[in-house]
Amino acid sequence: MVSIDVKGNAVTISVLGSHKLWAFKRRISFNKEAISWFGKVDPNLRPPWLRCPGTHIPKIIAAGTYYGRGRKEFWDTTFKGKAIQFDLKSNRYTRIVVDTEDLDTAIHALSS
């Protein structure tokens, strides 16, 4: 689980609780202009196969950095339908998929 903080043009994703251990990361920051698309995650979407570092237990948790065919992605999800996806350009990550407590509030904050 993460918290998403939007201040002006800056977006900060803070990994919460024990997920810091699973994801091997505490925080990711990027500018809103780096977002090419964001929204609710397709339930069939799965991370790329190469994980480094991170945790993956099929259908339970995907947390950490994943690599695949020119992509570098950060995931922190338990696949329970509360995840938001960011597709990014000009950033160290090409995609971020994270669970958030209130998906609609996060989407609204990013839209404004």
Which pairing describes strands 35-40 and 27-31: parallel, antiparallel, or unpaired?
A: unpaired
> At residue 106, what are phi and psi to the nearest 5 degrees?
-65, -45
1-31: pLDDT as tens digits: 899 999 999 999 999 999 999 999 999 999 9
Cβ of 45: how many Cβ atoms within 10 Å?
14
pLDDT of residue 19: 93
Integer Cα distance of 51 and 75 in angstroms: 10
Q: Which band of pLDDT confidence, cut at 50, 70 and 90, is reported for residue 44?
A: confident
Integer Cα distance of 68 and 19 in angstroms: 22
76-90: pLDDT as tens digits: 999 998 999 999 998
- Mean pLDDT of all residues in 42-69: 92
Length of the chain: 112
Name the token pair of 75: 């995931």
Which pTM was predicted? 0.93
Alpha carbon dihedral 62, 68, 74, 75, in 10-degree steps, equals -20
